[in-house]
Amino acid sequence: GAVVSQHPSWVICKSGTSVKIECRSLDFQATTMFWYRQFPKQSLMLMATSNEGSKATYEQGVEKDKFLINHASLTLSTLTVTSAHPEDSSFYICSASAGAIYEQYFGPGTRLTVT
């Protein structure tokens, strides 16, 4: 149990376009979903926290207008990278929690490359 999927697993897009990444909890209802970013050979950095039906809470330094997060249901959250640029290229990982913050189940990640 407690499986989280992400789609797509990798995506290449041109500079200036927008990309949407989906995060789904397959066998449980996630009241909270988290979006992380990971640069090569580095750790995970929390970008934002989203609760179903409410606005996401962004970490300091993360542009909310650039990284749009929607958590419309208890099983789906989306991250849209708007007007992507090469510096947005990264590994994006989501996680989902049904309750306790420390009980997060991580997705397999999405590798975004902006050319």
- Which residues of this chain interact with another protein, rule CB under 8 A? 4, 6, 32, 34, 36, 41-46, 49, 91, 93, 95, 101-104, 106-109, 111
Q: Which is nearer to another protein, 82 or 98 (CB)?
A: 98
Measure CA 85 to chain center.
Answer: 17
Closest by alpha carbon to 5, among 88, 82, 75, 97?
75
Return the number of the residue (79 or 107) whose C-beta is nearest another protein.
Answer: 107
Q: Return the number of the residue (51 or 82) whose C-beta is nearest another protein.
A: 51
Retrieve residue 107's tokens.
Answer: 């997705």
Dihedral angle computed from the Cα positions of residues 61, 65, 68 and 70, in that order, rounded to the nearest 10 degrees: 110
Quote the DSSP letter at residue 66.
T
Please choose, from the candidates 67, 83, 85, the residue with its C-alpha nearest in 3D space to the C-alpha of residue 21: 67
Cβ closer to another protein: 44 or 74? 44
In the complex, minimum distance from the CB of residue 83 to another protein, in angstroms, rounded to a whole number: 26
Nearest distance in Å: CB 115, another protein? 19
Minimum distance from CB of 44 to another protein (Å)? 5
User: CA torsion sign, 40 to 44 to 48 to 50?
Assistant: positive
Q: How far is the CB of 30 from another protein (least distance, A)?
A: 14
